[in-house]
Amino acid sequence: MWRCRSRLQNGKKSGCLSRTIREADLQKAVVKAVQDLILDENRIYNDICSDVQELTTGNTDIELADINSKLAELQQHVLSLVKAGKNTTELAEQIQQLRERKNEIEATKSERKRDEERVVALRESVEKAKDKVLAYDEQLVRNFIEEIRVFPDKLTITVKGGAHEDITI
């Protein structure tokens, strides 16, 4: 049985209206949602691709080029100040900030690449599974289900990437 944590801890005064749901019913709902999403595989795939596209269309390449250009300029300036025997602390701090930002951008780009690879893997899984009857699989839930929300009359099952399916209970 699955119950709202707030209701278990605080009883009826918690204000939680979510109903108790049996494990078997929850599993059936997950299987139905996944099957519905697979049957409409283009919708889920397009939704996920759209989300990834939004993430990957940032101006990171332009920003990286700007940072690299600025770093080269500042490094040349630091060299000229060092040769002149002047203080370079302020420029060194600017260089450090730019390097940190560059590292952040590169980490973000790596995450985006992994997201794109996950989308491809999900598409391949959907293609392989679309003609099969699915059974509840704990690994499937862990890999592809982002969230299951329980409402008095339905479950909303959201897969990673944002696509969701409402299942009446």
Average pLDDT of the chain?
Answer: 79
Three-state SS for 84?
Answer: coil
16 φψ region: left (φ > 0), alpha (ψ -120 to 50), beta (else): beta
What are the tens digits of pLDDT across the range 112-153? 888 778 767 766 766 676 556 567 778 777 777 888 888 878
Confidence band of 61 (pLDDT split at 50, 70, 90): confident
- pLDDT value of position 31: 83
Q: Answer whether 33's CB lies under 8 Å from 9's CB.
A: no
Phi, psi of 146 (to 5 degrees): -85, -45
Give, as one character, the DSSP assignment of residue 15: -
Q: Spell out the domain ranges in the chain.
A: 5-168
CA 112 – CA 109 distance, rounded (Å): 5
